[in-house]
Structure 1
Amino acid sequence: MSPFTCVLTLPSVFFLQGVSLFVRKVDPRKDAHSHLLTKNEESNLYKIQFHNVKPECLDAYNQLCEETLPSIHNDKYYPCELVGTWNTWYGEQDQAVHMWRYRGGYPALTEVMSKLRQNKEFMKYREERGKMLLSRRNQLLLEFSFWNEPIPRKGPNIYELRSYQLRPGTMIEWGNYWARAIGYRQHNSEAVGGFFSQIGNLYMVHHLWAYKDLEAREATRNAAWQHEGWDEVVYYTVPLIQHMDSRIMIPMKASPLQ
């Protein structure tokens, strides 16, 4: 059982004056975590894809993606949007990361998958892509209510995807703390999006950040420690984490997030 109290809806808990985020008890609940953590019941569904590419095929893979993915993104026939597409710079090498948004949730995802199976160009893309990959995996995600929705931005930027494997049962606590913490990390518009898994690795959280360069990243992260309360958030959230990973990513030419 989680050691922190969660009131009826997280958005009201986070911003009500005088409500403590550090209560040491949780009452039994019948609500799904996803209902408490997301903006509303019709929240967007996201898919994140990790493709490990054969090193000798990376350039050809990138070109194939740049020729195919924007056509799906721009076609209103498909109720989905390409949020961003990147190559990992620091982290797992020869890797591509794609993020899609489905407005309308699972029905939109089902509709897109059904329509794409009838798209001969896309099926050819999948066939060619498969020859270039060593492995691939994906997750379905929902967005936290207290993060901004990812929107296209001009570059050049580098992006950091910080992924946290939480201890089971601690997602509400994480949300409580980060609803407060995000206020310390928006001064330079570095906060892009925050997500938690629904299918795939469970109790997985992804925070996506944008920086001008690695020096700006270091300066921005150091500046957070000057805000009163940031150290407390870090102190209480670290014990919730089982494993964490950081990727520095470079946008592909076709990425709406540049």
Structure 2
Amino acid sequence: MSIRPHLVPSFLQLTNQKIHLRTAHSQLIGYWSVEYGGLNQVFHIWKYDSYSERAAVRAALSQDPSWVSDYISKAMPMLSSQENEVTYLVPWSHLQTPPQTGGVYELVSYLMRPGGPAVWGEAFQAAVTSHDAPGYGKLVGAFHSEFGLLNRVHALWWFESADQRAEVRHKAHHDARVVAAVRNSVMHLESQENKLMFPCAFSPLK
């Protein structure tokens, strides 16, 4: 979600004050402001157990006068664009809590070649776990797109700081196991991008 540049502080302040109106309806996993890899952006993850639950939540929100008048009517004019994606955790990943608060998050998004996990699932898992197992980052979760841009997978990582991320990335580049796993996975890869994000004060994941 992109915010008009001069309104970023106002948007974050309003959201901090009124997010309880939204979390009264469904579970917020995390809410971040993007520091590197995008400008004037926020990124957030919400959990639903089914599509019917999401539909019911959206219907309830549209009928919630406080949400509409106190937040949506004020926040929407501050935005320049929005997009959403439905994802699910890949079978081998579980949502993890970082070992401490106060760190930074990296969202790495991979566009894979068509074919789905049956074609590239094992190679992707090996590439991700080769970083996670030795401690080259803390994997919070790995997700696969269901609606939105298809054949896209995301890995959400936690680091103590941006500098600590740079340090462990440098070490990973010299780890033969990581190099081999990545080399095997890139044959299935079309493109990738990443964002470094700071958790907002009200984000459950900090």
After TM superposition, the structure 1 = structure 2 runs for residues 190-201 of structure 1, keeping only pairs within 5 Å, are 190-201=138-149
Q: After superposing the two structures, state which structure 1 stretch, 179-188 or 164-173, moved more.
A: 179-188
Task: Say if 2:170 is the partner of 1:222.
Answer: yes
Indicate if the aligned counterparts of 2:87 and 2:144 stay in contact, CA closer than 8 A. yes
Ranges in structure 2 where 5+ consecutive residues have no aligned partner: none
Provide Cα deviations, 1:92-124, integer angstroms capped at 9, x if missing partner: 10111111111x221221121111111112222
- What corresponds to 1:65 in structure 2? 15
Residue aligned with 1:243, SS: strand
- What corresponds to 1:114 in structure 2? 59
Ranges in structure 1 where 5+ consecutive residues have no aligned partner: 1-50
Q: CA 1:138–1:150 in structure 2 vs 1: closer, same or farther (change >3 Å)? A: farther
Q: Percent identity at matched positions?
A: 26
Shift of 1:230: 2.2
TM-score normalised by L of structure 1: 0.72
Indicate if the aligned counterparts of 1:152 and 1:256 stay in contact, CA closer than 8 A. no
Indicate if the aligned counterparts of 2:98 and 2:140 stay in contact, CA closer than 8 A. no
More helix by share: 2
Q: CA 1:98–1:54 in structure 2 vs 1: closer, same or farther (change >3 Å)? A: same
Q: CA 1:119–1:136 in structure 2 vs 1: closer, same or farther (change >3 Å)? A: same
Q: CA 1:94–1:153 in structure 2 vs 1: closer, same or farther (change >3 Å)? A: farther
Shift of 1:239: 2.2
Task: Say if 2:188 is the partner of 1:243.
Answer: no
What do you get for the CA RMSD once the two structures are aligned? 2.0
Provide Cα deviations, 1:52-81, integer angstroms capped at 9, x if missing partner: 1001100111012112223432x3xx3x31
Shift of 1:181: 3.6
Q: Which amino acid aligns with 1:206?
A: H
Higher relative contact order (CA 8 A, sep 6+): 2
TM-score normalised by L of structure 2: 0.89
- What corresponds to 1:38 in structure 2? none
Q: After superposing the two structures, state which structure 1 stretch, 242-251 or 117-126, moved more.
A: 117-126
Task: Please point out which of 68, 78, 81 is paired with 1:123.
Answer: 68
Matched residues, number: 203
